[in-house]
Amino acid sequence: MLAGCGGRSEQLTVSAAASLKSAFTAYGFEGMRASFAGSDELAAQIRQGVRPDVFAAANTKLPDELYAAGLVEKPVVFAANELVLAVPADGRVTSLSDLTGDVTIAMGAESVPVGAYTRKVLDGLPADERAAILANVRSNEPDVAGVVGKVAQGAVDAGFVYRTDVRATGGELRAIELPPELEPEVAYGVAVVKGAEHPERAREFIDGLLSGAGRAALDRAGFLPPPGT
């Protein structure tokens, strides 16, 4: 710990999607200081001039946009996930079709990846079902951790989150799978931030995510390999 604080070159600052928290913490990369939040908030910070070493998002759109704006190096896709419906283990929602009834729902705000994926799923439903589900939404949370919290607290009956989030609750929540034809492709992109203080260590960190201790931690947390591998 002392060595980590003393040697500045040992440090690595990571801005990562809230859903990556348990996997990145388990990765155990030496000197990593991570800030976990909605990917869109972290991207906005980078646009405002914040310079972490690594940016890891719950989609590929935000890293691609930052790359196009010349703010990060070329992003790579390092993991995939699945959107599921999280419910309390003893909850009254047991399938996606229950969401049109007398229940309450939390989802991500439109700007955060989990919220965008959720809306994509709803767009695949008939218009009346979609409207009925949207009418049951009680909170649009700024990140996926907020959705998990609202379901875990019993504030809502169900919430759209990633499979790995449900797994991280250790049985408190249960995942209801979405029909395969509705399941969006959830891919995670990571990039070295231009002007990063520790670009070498940032590359090392990303290499570990692709094949190494980071990959193993992602596997353990339930993340899937990047699409097409």
Minimum gap (Å) between residue 220 Cβ and another protein:
28
CB 39 within 8 A of CB 62: yes
Q: Which is nearer to another protein, 81 or 139 (CB)?
A: 139
C-beta closer to another protein: residue 156 or 221 = 156
Q: Which residues contact 10 (CB under 8 A, 6 or more apart)?
A: 3, 4, 30, 31, 201
153, 121 in Cβ contact below 8 A? no
State the nearest-atom distance from the C-beta of 59 to another protein, in Å: 13
* Cα atoms in the Cβ-side hemisphere of radius 13 Å centred on 110: 2
Query: Which tokens is 204 given?
Result: 């090392």
82 vs 104, beta carbon nearer another protein: 104
Of 108 and 208, the one with the shorter C-beta distance to another protein is: 108
Radius of gyration over alpha carbons of the chain, in Å? 18
3-state secondary structure of 223: coil
**Which residue ranges make up the site for another protein (CB under 8 A)?**
38, 40-41, 43-44, 47-48, 104, 106, 109, 111-112, 137-142, 146, 149-150, 153-156
Distance in Å, CB of 110 to another protein, minimum: 8
Least CB distance to another protein at residue 222 (A): 26
